[in-house]
Amino acid sequence: MRPNSRIIGIVIATLGALIGSVTCSADLSPIPCAVGNKWQYDTVKLVRGEVRMDGKPMSGFRDASSGSSVYEVVGLDGKASPAVYDYKETTNVWSTKGGEPDSDTSELKITDEAGVLRIISTYTESSSENAPDKQDYSPPLLYYTKDAASGKSWEVGVMRERQLTNPITARGAGREIVTVPAGTFKDCLKVIYSGDRITGTMEMWEKTFAVTGGKSRGVYWIADGVGVVKELEVATTLAETDGPGGKKLTVQAASCTVSELRPGYVVKK
């Protein structure tokens, strides 16, 4: 879920400068919580969509971009009970068409209690938006539970992004071998996050669109003692508004993002 509803990963070499077969024996968590932990990913994103007027195609768009994502644990409030970690995700991708990068930065406050991760709040800034987005969760979102390793499912909670809401469920989906630039990781836990009822409104072209449909899937492969080594995030959206002459203007879009761990990650015990 990166865990946002786009829902849907992770530069300094110590443990991760390993190429070849990598196995680790430690607590299994998508975010090992220690200040200084840092992961960098190669990220590729594809977006496509279509604009229709009264059901007739008006225009289409398609864009591919690539770049990197950096995830890091940057702070800790040890006086809080439970302790609260400051977690940061920064992504910069460049379109194959050129131009300035598409940049997103998300700051999350999370807790880690015996392998159970909860999200207290999120703060997101994006180069494609005019203002940042701040969300507070009470009760916190249940991002991850160690029961995932046994294949159980759980309710994450209702994620929010600006005026959109997305109830999320998650489940463990077995173990797989995963090969990424950082190496080959054996026995990775596969976790799937699903959202099937995206609702709300969104602003485009100085108009308010009502979201009438949409789904999201986030698939994460987690290695013991390392964290997330690979992410796959897919989302679809259908939105509509009143166009000229009372005609219905609709936008249908889909996106797919893949992030793979690079060598040089830092995970402190």
With helix as H, strand as E and coil as C, how does 199-249 read?
Answer: EEEEEECCEEEEEEEEEEEEEEEEECCCEEEEEEEEEEEEEEEECHHHCEE
pLDDT beyond 50 at 2: no
Q: Measure the N-to-C terminal CA separation of the chain; round to a whole number of Å.
A: 24
Cis bond upstream, residue 139 (ω within 30):
yes
Q: Work out the percent of the chain whose per-residue pLDDT is above 70.
A: 90
Whether 15 shows a pLDDT value over 80: the answer reads: no
Per-residue model confidence as pLDDT tens digits over 191-217: 999 999 889 998 888 889 999 998 999
pLDDT tens, 163-182?
899 999 999 999 999 999 99
Count of CB atoms situated within 10 Å of the CB of 146: 15
pLDDT of residue 23 exceeding 70:
no
For 128-161, the pLDDT digits (tens) are: 888 999 999 999 999 999 889 899 999 999 999 9
Domain boundaries, the chain: 21-261
Cβ of 141: how many Cβ atoms within 10 Å? 24
User: Which pLDDT value is given to residue 244?
Assistant: 83
Q: Give me the pLDDT at residue 130, please.
A: 85
Instruction: Look at the chain and count its residues.
Output: 269
- Interatomic CA distance for residues 77 and 48, integer angstroms: 41
Q: Model confidence over 43-102: pLDDT tens digits? A: 999 999 999 988 888 899 899 999 999 999 999 999 999 999 999 999 999 999 988 999
Identify the pLDDT of residue 58. 87
How high is the pLDDT of residue 269? 66
Q: Over the chain, what is the mean pLDDT?
A: 87
pTM of the model: 0.86
Q: Tell me which CATH code domain 21-261 carries.
A: 2.30.230
